[in-house]
Amino acid sequence: MGLPKGTSYSMVTLGRWVTVLCVARWWAFGPANSGDAAGAKAPGFQLAVLSSQSIPESRMSRTRRQTSYIDCALPLAEKALIAHIRREAAKRGGTGIVLGIGDDGAEIGIPRGHQALVTTDFSLENVHFRQAWHPAEAVGHRCLARGLSDIAAMGGEPLAAFLSLALPKNLSQSWVDGFVRGLLGLAARFDVSLAGGDTAQSPGGILADIVVLGSAPKGKAVRRSGAHVGDRIYVTGELGASSATLGLLRKGKRLRPAEYEAHFYPEPRIVVGRFLRERSLASAMIDLSDGLSTDLGHICDESEVGAEVEAQAIPLATIGRPGREVALHFALHGGEDYELLFTAGRRLPERIAGVRVTEIGWVTRRKVILRGKHGVGSELRPQGWEHFRESRRKRF
């Protein structure tokens, strides 16, 4: 019986006993000295599989060890973990990578006539996710989706990703495997290679930093600073699903991720962003990660303009089964929708690349105004997510 690829063991020493957890390993038995009794096993290897049991430390001292890996109670050692991630990344391929994981740096080809786009995002335990609420696959998916959404907001093409991962020593390897599976599954859909990164032991909590490299034709990337007075304001998809789902989780609801995909598995709008850039339709664009009120403010600040938004025009998401429409405040201030908010100088179709596109307002000279049902306007102040703001609760 041979060890499957990627197997290992984890163990802890308590006094003179060793507790072995989820073990698959080789034992090498041989004579301890020349005086061993006749009939003792000759030097050689045989497979022993143990599970959550204690054995005397003296027995362990008579063995030699050959490490590979399997689902363990602890994460793999750094070198084995990197090798594991490298193998998984290689299975999914990707184009444009001259040299990926394994060297001091990656070599990546940028298409002729393009400029590089680079973005980075943290995913922090108890800030952006909780293990009790989010499956590992969803955490990995969301980690990469954040970076891809930034590339989409500039009309770019994603090329490669770099993952820095800090893990606490008591985290299971199965969680790490799920995280990598979720991240690489999304990467494969957009032909993005995991080209490198870093690993470390965290003193507490999981920390993941994703860097995404993309490209756009020189001078053609869509920025936040291009909105003009009179432009129309559009959003893709529907808003508020992620924040409303988070509200249910905070109340202790047990949710099935498949019924709340906008929160657990958001879809980066790469194709829509590319379409808008290729046809020079968007004058300014941003992804909705911090909430409509906050992200619209970013466009207005960078473009030195104002805006008016019609509350009734904002497309509200439905969540769960049966579907329930979310409240307006989730769409305005919730964040993590990862839809695109953009301005355009002309009327656009109701769908682009199969994705719903909704006109919600127009660009003005100053202030951001929200108009209600009867046309009464009030200033729309940024109330979305903002780190280090004392008045804001922790996201999770």
Q: What is the pLDDT of residue 197?
A: 85
Q: Which residues of 140-159 are buried (b: 16+ CB within 10 A; e: fewer)?
A: bbbbbbbbbbbbbbbbbbbb
Does the reported pTM lie above 0.85? no
Residue 163 pLDDT > 90: yes
Do 339 and 288 lie in one domain? The reply is yes
Greater confidence (36 vs 143) lies with: 143
Give a yes or no: residue 384 inside a domain.
no
Question: Percent of the chain beyond pLDDT 90?
Answer: 61
Contact status, residue 256 vs residue 153, Cβ threshold 8 Å? no
Greater confidence (180 vs 386) lies with: 180
Kindly give the residue spans of alpha helices, DSSP state H, lying in 281-322.
292-303
**Residue 138 to residue 182: CA distance in whole angstroms:** 6
Give a yes or no: residue 238 inside a domain.
yes
Q: Which helix (H) or strand (E) holds 307?
A: strand 306-310
Q: What is the pLDDT of residue 107?
A: 83
Kindly give the residue spans of alpha helices, DSSP state H, lying in the chain.
57-60, 78-92, 136-153, 173-189, 241-250, 261-264, 270-278, 292-303, 328-333
Do 261 and 357 lie in one domain? The reply is yes
Q: What is the CATH number of the domain that holds 128?
A: 3.30.1330.10
| Residue 375 identity | G
The pLDDT confidence band at residue 131, using thresholds 50, 70 and 90, is very high
Q: Phi first, then psi: give them for residue 143, nearest 5 degrees.
A: -60, -50
Q: Mean of the pLDDT values across residues 144-153?
A: 98
**Residue-range definition of the domain harbouring residue 4:** 1-73
The pLDDT confidence band at residue 96, using thresholds 50, 70 and 90, is low
Give a yes or no: residue 390 inside a domain.
no
Helix, strand counts (H, E) of the chain: 9, 21
Of 217, 234, 260, the last residue of a domain is 217
Q: Mean of the pLDDT values across residues 298-318?
A: 97
Q: What is the pLDDT of residue 59?
A: 46
Do 60 and 112 lie in one domain? The reply is no
Contact status, residue 43 vs residue 8, Cβ threshold 8 Å? no
Give a yes or no: residue 367 inside a domain.
yes
Contact status, residue 276 vs residue 285, Cβ threshold 8 Å? yes
Give a yes or no: residue 392 inside a domain.
no
The pLDDT confidence band at residue 375, using thresholds 50, 70 and 90, is confident
Residue 25 pLDDT > 70: no
Q: Nearest-5° angle of CA 163, CA 144, CA 137?
A: 95
Do 113 and 154 lie in one domain? The reply is yes
Q: Is 70 exposed, middle or buried (0-12, 13-18, 19+ CB in 10 A)?
A: buried
User: What separation in angstroms does the CA of 136 have from each of 63, 120, 377?
Assistant: 35, 20, 43
Computed from CA positions of residues 211, 213, 214, 217, in that sequence, does the dihedral angle turn out positive or negative? Answer: positive
Contact status, residue 115 vs residue 215, Cβ threshold 8 Å? yes
Total tally of structural domains belonging to the chain: 3
Q: What is the CATH number of the domain that holds 256?
A: 3.90.650.10
Q: What is the pLDDT of residue 367?
A: 92
Of 217, 232, 254, the last residue of a domain is 217
Do 92 and 48 lie in one domain? The reply is no
Q: Is 65 exposed, middle or buried (0-12, 13-18, 19+ CB in 10 A)?
A: exposed
Q: What is the pLDDT of residue 21?
A: 41
Of 217, 245, 272, the last residue of a domain is 217
State whether residue 311 is helix, strand or coil.
helix
| Residue 115 identity | Q
Do 163 and 147 lie in one domain? The reply is yes
Q: What is the pLDDT of residue 386?
A: 52
Q: Mean of the pLDDT values across residues 167-172?
A: 91
**Residue 76 to residue 69: CA distance in whole angstroms:** 7
Residue 47 pLDDT > 50: no
Structure tokens, 22: 């989820």
Structure tokens, 109: 């080809």
Residue 287 pLDDT > 70: yes
Which residues, including other chains, have CB under 8 Å from residue 189's CB and lie 6 or more apart? Answer: none
Question: Which residue, among 250, 267, 249, 247, has the nearest Cα to 334 in the 3D structure?
Answer: 247
Residue 310 β-bridge partners: 371
Give a yes or no: residue 386 inside a domain.
no
Cα dihedral value 142, 189, 137, 295, nearest 10: 10
Do 67 and 121 lie in one domain? The reply is no
Question: Which residue, among 237, 204, 216, 255, has the nearest Cα to 336 in the 3D structure?
Answer: 237
Greater confidence (228 vs 56) lies with: 228
Contact status, residue 257 vs residue 265, Cβ threshold 8 Å? yes
Do 30 and 154 lie in one domain? The reply is no
Q: What is the pLDDT of residue 306?
A: 97
Give a yes or no: residue 303 inside a domain.
yes
In the block, tokens 């993309």 appear at 214
Contact status, residue 94 vs residue 108, Cβ threshold 8 Å? no
Greater confidence (119 vs 198) lies with: 119
User: What separation in angstroms does the CA of 126 have from each of 68, 134, 260?
Assistant: 32, 11, 19
Do 86 and 55 lie in one domain? The reply is no
Cα dihedral value 55, 58, 63, 69, nearest 10: 40
Which residues, including other chains, have CB under 8 Å from residue 35's CB and lie 6 or more apart? Answer: none
Do 228 and 375 lie in one domain? The reply is yes
Q: What is the pLDDT of residue 105?
A: 80
Mean pLDDT in the chain? 81
Contact status, residue 164 vs residue 208, Cβ threshold 8 Å? yes
Give a yes or no: residue 121 inside a domain.
yes
Do 123 and 64 lie in one domain? The reply is no
Do 203 and 296 lie in one domain? The reply is no
